[in-house]
Every structure is written in structure tokens, then in C-alpha cells.
Amino acid sequence: MRKTIARRLTESKQTVPHFYLTVDCNLDALLALREQINAAAPVSDGKPAYKLSVNDMVIKAWAMALRAVPDANASWTENSMLKHKHADVGVAVSIPGGLITPIIRDACHKTLSTISNEMKDLAARAKNRKLKPEEYQGGSTAVSNLGMFGVKDFCAVINPPHATILAVGAGEKRPIVKADGSLGVATVMSVTLSTDHRAVDGALGAEAISAFKKYIENPMGMLV
């Protein structure tokens, strides 16, 4: 597994012109909505039907951003540009000996609870090495979240044939300047988008990550 990862990512860094864009996202509204949704989850045999994580909402927000900016949901090939009809989001999962990216298919059209339950199932089976090839091969983009380790920000390496990968840092309390110019404190998350500049250039990447930031900071938009 390590040999495969080394070969693919070395090839990526040597052949893909990486371009990086970073935004800071205010998480306060998202955390409040997540708490409300989890509190409303139906309970069966003492267990809630779902329990959303911030990462589940990141997956949904990124998928919806790519739906809103479809030109960024693309892959570069030597013969043509491939534009994807669906936002199939690979999610990096650490397993013994390496890394694998199970895929949430057509994530922009799935509910947050569906994404959450699918992700838990895929991650559990990934760690037990029970994923089917079609569950981790392909996809149109990826998300790598190291926030649970306290990492503030980082740049992820693109996994071809994807043209984008979103690197998600930890949400942390930071001082902010409010719209009226006053100072305040908010939970802020830094997110860096790596793009294959052949397929997604700076302006297009900026449009996509701005759409992502909008969904994160106005999370009710993910419920429609």
C-alpha cells in the first residue's frame, strides 16, 4: 500500500501543476445547526438514527459548491477535459499501513443524515479492509480533514484523476472583526483547496471555494 501511495503521489507532485487557495470559515452557525439536527434525531433502541459530524457537513458543502460551480467539477486528461455530472467526494481515511479514500457518490443530492451514516459505514469497513473496489476507486474530488488532530491548516496533494482536493483544518476560537467594525470571538476553520491548474485555474478555484465558504457559513442552504 505504501509503495502504491508513494508512486501515485510522487507522480502527482511531479506532473500536476498544484495551485493553492485558502479561506477562513466561521463555524458558529454550522455548529449551532449541527446541534439542533442531532438533538432532533429519532432514537431507536437507545441509539439516535444519525449523529452528524462537522466533516459530514464539509462533505455536503463541498459537493454543493461543485454543483454551483460545475466547471470546477472536472478532470484533466491529455485528450480532453472531463466534466463530471455528479460530485462524487472521496474522503481520506487513515487505516493501518496507509490511506484510502472511500467515496460518497452524488453527495450534493444526499441528505446530511445519509452522508453521515454512509461515511461511518465506509470508514469502518475501510479500517477492516472490507471495501469493494468501486467504493474507493474513481470519484471527482476529495476531502482530507486533519482537524481532529489539532492541525490548523495544510495543503493536500491531489489524487489524480481528481483536479481538486480540500484540506480541512481544526475549528478553533479566534478573534474576528465583525461587520460593524467591533471585535468578537468566533470558531474559525481554515480550509485550503489544492487544484490542478490545467483544469481548475485560480479564478475558477476561487469561485468554488467561495461557494464552499458560503454554504459553511450559511448552513441552512444545505437543507434545501
Whether 197 is catalytic: yes
pTM attached to this predicted model: 0.95
- What pLDDT is attached to residue 203? 97
| Residue from 95, 13, 59, 81 nearest 212 by CA | 59
- pLDDT tens sequence across 157-173: 999 999 999 999 999 99
- Classify domain 2-223 at the CATH topology level: Chloramphenicol Acetyltransferase (3.30.559)
Identify the band that residue 143 occupies on the pLDDT scale cut at 50, 70 and 90.
very high
Residue boundaries of the structural domains of the chain: 2-223
- For 83-127, how does the pLDDT look when each residue is reduced to its tens digit (9 = 90+)? 999 999 999 999 988 899 999 999 999 999 999 999 999 999 999
CA-to-CA dists, residue 219 to 9, 25, 37, 95, 197, angstroms: 33, 12, 12, 30, 29
Which one is catalytic: 84, 86, 109, 197? 197
Res. 224 pLDDT band, cuts 50 70 90: confident
- Residue 184 confidence (pLDDT) above 90: yes
pLDDT for 97: 84
